Amino acid sequence: MRRAYDDFLNTRFFAGLDGLRCLSIVAVVAYHVSGAHSGLVGRGYLGVALFFAISGFLITTLLLRERDQVGHISLRGFLARRALRIFPLYYAVLALYTAVVFFLEKDLGVRADFFANLPSFLTYTSNWFVPESPDKRVIFYFAWSLATEEQFYLVWPLVLSLSRRAWVPVLFMGALLAVSLGAPWLVSLGLLEPGHFATRVLTSISASICLGSLAAFAVHSPRGFAWVYPVLGQVWSVPLLLVLLLGAVAWYPTPPGLTSLVMVSLVVATCLRPRQPLSAVMSHPWVRYVGTISYGIYLLHMLVLNAVRRAVPGQGSGVQLVLTFALTVLVAGLSYRYFERWFLQLKERFDWRGYARPLPAAPPAPLPGLLALASKADPAP
C-alpha cells in the first residue's frame, strides 16, 4: 500500500487519461453528428461530464502537490498556465466563427442571436446567459462547457490558496456538490424558477468537477488513499468501471449524480492502476494522440461537420461521422503543431515543478511531426 501511494505521488504524467479524453471526444462528436436522443450515441453529450471529472481530479491533484512541495499555490502561475493552454485557440476559433456567421449565415435571426450572445462567449459566461433553445440553432452553444471549466479555474485555486485548514476547501466543494445535485430537483418541484438567472447559475455547477476535486483530496492523503486503493486500485477496477459507465450511460433513468460518481471512479482508477487489461488500448499512440488534441477537436468539430454536410449532402450519419472525425483530427492536429504549441512552450516558464515533462516514444506520425509533438502531452486538461 505504501509503495502504491508513493508511486502515485511521484507520477508526473497519467498516460491513461488521454485514453479517457479520446473516449469523451468520440462520444461528443458522435452525438452531434447523429442527432440521436436515445441509446449510447444519444447520450454522447455525457462525454463532457467525463471531461469535467478528469479536470476536477487532475487540477486539484496538481494544486495539492504544489502546495505540499512549494509551500503555497501560485495563483499567477496557475492562471498563466491555464490562459496559455485555453485562450489562444478558444479566441481564434471564436474569431473564425464570427467571420463565418457574418459572411455566410443566411438566417438573420440566428445571425442576430449569435452577435447578441457574443459578449457571453467572450467572457466565458455563456452557461449563465445563453440558454439552449430546442426550436432553433444556437451557434457556438457548446461553449457553455468551457465557461463552466473556466469558472472552476478562477474560483477553486483561490479557495485552496486562502484556506488555512484542510477541511475548509473540502466543505466548500461538498457544498457545491450538494447544490449541483439539488438544484435540478428544486427546479422540478417548482421551488426554483426555470430560466431565471440564479437558477441558471446554480444548475451550471458540475457534479463531475466537484466529485473529481473531492476524489483528489481523498487519494492525496495517506489515510484516504488507504481507503480508496483496495477498491479502485485493483487490476480489474478500470475494466469493471468502464462497463458500469457504459451501462449507466445507456440506461436513461440512471441518476446524473450516480453517472458522475462512476466517471470519477474510472478516472481515479486509471491514475492509481496504470497497468491493467485495457492499458494497451488506452495508451495506444493513436488513442493518446486523439486525447492530446481533444481540446482542438471539441472546438473545431462543429465547423467541420457543417462543412462535411455541405460538401457531401445526403450521406448517412455513419459516413458523416467518419468524415467529420477524420477531418477534425487532421485540422486539430495542424492547429496543435503550428499554433497551440507555441503557447504551450511558454507554459514552462510558469511551471512550479521546474522540470521538463517526460516524452514517451512517438509512433509514426500521421503528418510530419504531429504525433511527436503530441507526445509532449500536457498533464492538465
SS3 letters for 69-97?
Answer: HHCCCCHHHHHHHHHHHHHHHHHHHHHHH
In a domain, 87, yes or no: yes
**278 near 239, Cβ under 8 Å?**
yes
In a domain, 361, yes or no: yes
In a domain, 312, yes or no: yes
Answer positive or negative: Cα dihedral of 277, 280, 283, 289.
negative
In a domain, 209, yes or no: yes
Whole-angstrom distance, CA of residue 144 vs CA of residue 141: 6
In a domain, 112, yes or no: yes
In a domain, 310, yes or no: yes
In a domain, 379, yes or no: no
Q: How far is CA 197 from CA 104, 126, 137, 181, 193, in A?
A: 32, 12, 21, 18, 9
How many distinct structural domains can be found in the chain? Answer: 1
Farthest CA pair distance, the chain? 63
- Residues 341-364 as b/e (b if ≥16 CB within 10 A, e otherwise) read eeebeebeebebeeeeeeeeebee
Closest to 26 in 3D by CA, of 56, 10, 8, 46:
46
Helix (H, G, I), strand (E, B) or coil at 275: coil
Cell numbers given for 229:
486503493
**17 near 54, Cβ under 8 Å?**
yes
Q: Report residue 268 CA to chain centroid gap.
A: 15
Q: How far is CA 41 from CA 263, 268, 297, 308, in A?
A: 17, 25, 18, 19
In a domain, 380, yes or no: no
pLDDT at site 354: 63
Closest to 22 in 3D by CA, of 239, 305, 283:
283
- Residue-by-residue pLDDT tens, the chain, 381 positions: 889 999 999 998 898 999 999 999 999 999 999 988 888 899 999 999 999 999 999 999 999 999 999 999 999 999 999 999 999 999 999 999 999 999 999 999 999 999 999 999 999 999 999 988 878 899 999 999 999 999 999 999 999 999 989 899 999 999 999 999 999 999 988 889 988 899 999 999 999 999 999 999 999 999 999 999 999 999 999 999 999 999 999 998 999 999 999 999 999 999 999 999 999 999 999 999 999 999 999 999 999 999 999 999 989 999 999 999 999 999 999 999 999 999 999 988 888 776 434 433 333 444 444 444 444 434 334
Domain span including residue 14 = 2-374
